[in-house]
């Protein structure tokens, strides 16, 4: 469709999307930060990897929301209700947890940490979120990624979440494959 503007029978103008609306329910839920600068690259990455549109739960700090001790009990409760809905009423097969470099949520929450220590903390939180997801939703496959910027493009590096979350604090970003 060349023109995305349309007029309703009542004479109101409306916007018509260029992309088609498809009825099939996504099988992947992406949990990421609400920082909009990352959403384009995240959509592109998920479509490239699983060839479908994903459900998206975006909240400041992204996967930190899994753990009420990391985020807040109110945030964790809202997320838990959303996860139950996605898990029970959508056709979810997997959950993808994505953290990003330079996250304001972490800088505000941990002002005492430098960039490297924040990255370590984010990776530890990814492992904790993966562990909680496996405990609560054992049918869902879990994948976790750290997103960084390289020469103006987002790079998604998979994080091994089979390592216990507690040891995550001693593992630096540079140790990633």
Positions touching Zn ion (CB under 5 A) are: 33, 35, 103, 105
> 150 pairs with which residues across the strands?
153
Q: At CB < 8 A and 24+ separation, what contacts does 12-19 make?
A: none
- Closer residue to Zn ion (CB): 64 or 140: 64
- Nearest residue (CB) to Zn ion, 53 versus 109: 109
Rounded to a whole number of angstroms, the minimum distance from the CB of residue 173 to Zn ion is: 16
Q: What is the DSSP letter of 91?
A: -
CB nearer to Zn ion: give 107 or 166: 107
Q: What six digits make up the tokens of 86? A: 């996605």
For the bound state, the minimum distance from the C-beta of residue 100 to Zn ion, rounded and expressed in Å, comes to 6
- The closest of 132, 136, 115 to 70, measured between CA atoms, is 132
Q: Residue 55 or 101: which CB sits closer to Zn ion?
A: 101
Residue 123 DSSP code = H
How do 13-15 and 28-32 pair as beta strands? unpaired
Closest approach of Zn ion to the CB of residue 77, in Å: 21
Q: How far is the CB of 134 from Zn ion (least distance, A)?
A: 24
CB 53 within 8 A of CB 25: no
């Amino acid at each position: 469709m060349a023109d995305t503007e349309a007029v309703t029978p009542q004479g109101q103008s409306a916007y018509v999307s260029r992309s088609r609306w498809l009825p099939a329910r996504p099988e992947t839920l992406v949990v990421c930060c609400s920082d909009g600068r990352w959403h384009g690259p995240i959509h592109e990455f998920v479509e490239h990897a699983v060839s479908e549109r994903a459900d998206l739960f975006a909240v400041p700090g992204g996967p930190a929301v899994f753990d009420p001790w990391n985020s807040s009990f109110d945030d964790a409760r809202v997320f838990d209700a959303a996860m139950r809905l996605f898990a029970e009423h959508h056709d979810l097969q997997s959950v993808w947890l994505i953290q990003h470099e330079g996250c304001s949520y972490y800088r505000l929450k941990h002002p005492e940490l430098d960039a490297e220590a924040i990255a370590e903390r984010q990776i530890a939180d990814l492992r904790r979120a993966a562990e909680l997801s496996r405990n609560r939703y054992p049918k869902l496959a879990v994948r976790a990624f750290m997103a960084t910027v390289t020469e103006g493009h987002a790079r998604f590096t998979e994080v091994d979440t089979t390592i216990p979350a507690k040891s995550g604090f001693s593992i630096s970003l540079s140790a990633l494959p």
